[in-house]
Amino acid sequence: MALSTKSKAAICTLLALTAGKATCTLIKMKREAAKILKNKTKHGGRLVANAFKAYGITHVFTLTGGHISPILVECDRAGIKVIDTRHEVTAVYAADAMARLTGKCGIALVTSGPGLTNTITAVENAHLAESPLLLISGAAPLVQHKRGALQDIDHAGLMKTVCKYSKKVFTVRDIVPEIKKAMKIALSGVPGPVFLEIPYDVLYSYDHVKNALVPSPTRVSFPMGNIGLWKREYQLYNIFHKAWNNKYSYDDFNDKYYAPLKPCIPMYSRCQFKKAERLIAEAKKPILVLGSQVMLPPISPDDFKEAVLKLNMPTFMSGMARGLLSDKDSEQTNKNIQFRFVRKLALKEADLIIIAGLPVDFRMSFGRGLNQKAKIIAINRSNETLNMNSDIYWKPTLKVHSDSASFLTALSKSEKVTSREFNLEFNTQLRKAELEEKQKLTKKVNNAQNVESYGKVNPLVFLSKLNEKIEQVRARDNKDIIIVADGGDFIGTAAKFFWPTKPLQWLDPGLFGTLGVGGGFALGAKLVANENNRDTDVWLLYGDGTAGYSIAEVDTFVRHKLQVNICIGNDACWTQVCRQQKPLFDGSDVACPLEERHYEVVGAGYGGKGYLIGACKPEEGEEEDKKNEETNFTKYVIEQKLTEFFDMKSQYAQRPIIMNVMIDGGSIEKFRKTAKYI
């Protein structure tokens, strides 16, 4: 249908107005071009580093890539330690560990495309562990978007499902506001990971971007040639528009422009406080169950520990809360309130259960084990967690949407709470059951010591002796000990023997149950200890299966002069899976067996020092290790081997030491079948 003259005139007018507006905008941008050209060597990487310094960030973790070079260079120049790893997932695990141990936001920096996708498991692990971290990735240049650039994918869209906040930064002027916003979100409410995608041309200088990415286009006839030119010019100027002005300092991170935003932390009401006071005052058999959230700021671990001692009720700890109370501290104050082995019994018998900072999920049997007649106070930063499974197996008497440590600390200052008297018979019952469980464990170890074990090491005897040795060193040298647990069967058994004696000295994956966290967690833990000038031994406990995920990070420890003590329980099998699979599927162990490997040699190849305990099957063409095969690994032999290991550890103070322990997997199987778990 032909257009009328009037319609043609209207279309021409609209086109003219659009073209005129675009031309005016371009003219305005070009008038400001002088500012951009004057600062043509400044770049976004400096702004990122300034924001990190303002937040007190001391370490960033990375696997390098050209997309993020400006950030890495400026962090290094600003005195922020850049710790480069052998896999991007390790960088995020290390940032996660640093966040858990310091309460600050951990920082990981990765390149675009595969650099980012390699991190997803670690990000989700941090998400479910409620650990605050900021992940920044590079991205393809904006001026090449949808033009076939390398790794040009929607990074921010990809990360939305595993992050509290995920955003792409389109201009230099948005870098600092977006970092501040993201870090506030990471630390607010229930902490968790956040993500920013910063394209190449937002991080690099105008001079570099103009010359490298926006060459002069081939001119073609009007109008298409000019429209394409205008679009590219407009896009480039918009990236740097208002990037550099007199409202903030490019050089000084103390400028208020970079000042951190205060996180939002939910707090209890007076009404909730009064009701909790009354419930505790009326209780005769209360217990306190603590999860990782109680370790979060604003209450310090030391202050919270004092609060728990004042509350003076049987206390069970899990996750990062392990070690909040040590047996020694409890005995010194005549308040032996820490329990480890009898939580199931306590949950059935208590008349008041305070669940602080952890969900009622599979680790709490979904609430099925709670005394149905008991009053329950649930405290959590997440409203969703407060209601988890409450419609099926349990129902809270009082739900408190608040920071758990703040609420319990306030209760510990209430005279009504601290002056009440509890049922001593209940405490005596729990203590008796606790001692019985400890005696059962001791009996199992004693029985294992009487069994001959040629070539292989009984894991119960070994773990018992290793724990004794570590405790001797702790007492003699006044050392702190941080345990990093990464594995299945071997780690589940080790958890019975190792128990931290101070807060924030136990690291495991958390709710996601991720294998492979060890290298990154140990890296972050050792750096935190060094930063605080603490004489700390970091012990990384691996199964032989999980060692395969991150043993390459021995190279990272060597390059950064970090001594991490690595113990690998080697039974040549994914035993935890195998033990469940075989009875269900007619004895099939498909995909479960591994081979005995010289992991101490692998570690030495990466620059560490290796040590073998037990006989390892020789590779083809190698001679059999008859000496170890014919050795009966009694407790005395194990003690001697551990002494040699600790001597090696003292000799190489800045190098990782790898102890490959050839264990008898059958001994663990017998133990695990009868063991009770917290």
Residue-wise pLDDT for 135-167, tens only, equals: 999 998 887 777 767 777 788 999 999 999 999
Choose from 163-167, 617-621, 669-673 the range with maximum mean pLDDT: 163-167
Per-residue pLDDT reduced to its tens digit, 72-122: 999 999 999 999 999 999 999 999 999 999 999 999 999 999 999 999 999
User: Can you give the pLDDT at residue 247?
Assistant: 85
Question: Three-state secondary structure along 555-590?
Answer: HHHHHCCCCCEEEEEECCECHHHHHHHHHHCCCCCC
Residue with tokens 């002027």: 173
Is a pLDDT exceeding 80 seen at residue 233? Answer: no
Per mean pLDDT, which range of 46-55, 229-238, 636-645 is the poorest? 229-238
Residue 674: per-residue pLDDT: 40
Q: Please give the average per-residue pLDDT across 526-554, as a whole number.
A: 94
Query: Which residue matches tokens 């495309």?
Result: 113
Check whether 255 has a pLDDT greater than 90: yes
On whether the CB atoms of residues 655 and 607 are closer than 8 A, the answer is yes
Please give the angle made by the CA atoms of 199, 205 and 207, to the nearest 5 degrees.
Answer: 125
**pLDDT attached to residue 228:** 63
| pTM of the entire predicted model | 0.91
Provide the 3-class DSSP secondary structure of residue 64. Answer: coil
Q: How sure is the predictor about 566, in pLDDT bands with cuts at 50, 70 and 90?
A: very high
Closest C-alpha to 397, from 348, 357, 351, 343: 351
Percent of the chain past pLDDT 90, that is, above it, reads 68
Q: Is the pLDDT at 232 greater than 80, yes or no? A: no
Q: In Å, how far are 123, 341, 463, 470, 537 from 496, measured between CA atoms? A: 29, 9, 9, 15, 20
| pLDDT category of residue 422 using cuts at 50, 70 and 90 | confident
Query: Average pLDDT for residues 257-274, to the nearest whole number?
Result: 97
Band of residue 11 on the pLDDT scale cut at 50, 70, 90: low
Judged against a pLDDT cut of 90, whether residue 665 lies above it is answered with no
Nearest alpha carbon to residue 524 among 229, 98, 159: 98
pLDDT recorded at residue 300: 95
Look at residue 675 in the predicted model and tell me its pLDDT: 39
**Section 24-32 average pLDDT:** 62
Amino acid letter for position 576? Q
Report whether pLDDT(26) > 70.
no
Mean pLDDT over residues 394-412, rounded? 96
Q: Taking 60 as the threshold, does the pLDDT of residue 334 lie above it?
A: no
Window from 26-40, 138-152, 609-623 with minimum mean pLDDT: 26-40
Q: Which neighbouring-strand residues pair with 482? A: 538
Residue 333 has a pLDDT of 44
More confident residue, 524 or 331: 524
Which of 377, 361, 266, 351 minimizes the C-alpha distance to 319?
A: 361
Burial class (CB in 10 A: 0-12, 13-18, 19+), 185: buried
Check residue 574 and give its pLDDT. 92
- Amino acid 331: pLDDT: 47
Query: Dihedral (C-alpha) 626, 632, 634, 637: value to the nearest 10 degrees?
Result: -30
Exposure string for 477-511, b = 16+ CB within 10 A, e = fewer: eeebbbbbbbbbbbbbbbbbbbbbbbbbbbbbbbb
* CA 616 – CA 662 distance, rounded (Å): 7
* 586, 605 Cβ separation under 8 angstroms: no
Q: Judge whether residue 450 has pLDDT over 90.
A: no
315: left (phi over 0), alpha (psi -120 to 50) or beta: beta
Average the pLDDT over 248-272 and give the result. Answer: 95
pLDDT exceeds 90 at position 127: yes
CA atoms of 319 and 664, how far apart (whole Å): 28
Q: Which residue has the higher pLDDT, 21 or 128?
A: 128
The pLDDT assigned to 109 comes to 98
pLDDT 10s digits, 213-228: 766 655 555 455 556 6
Tell me the average pLDDT of the chain. 89
Per-residue pLDDT reduced to its tens digit, 339-384: 999 999 999 999 999 999 999 998 888 999 999 999 999 999 999 9
Contact between 549 and 518 (Cβ < 8 Å): yes
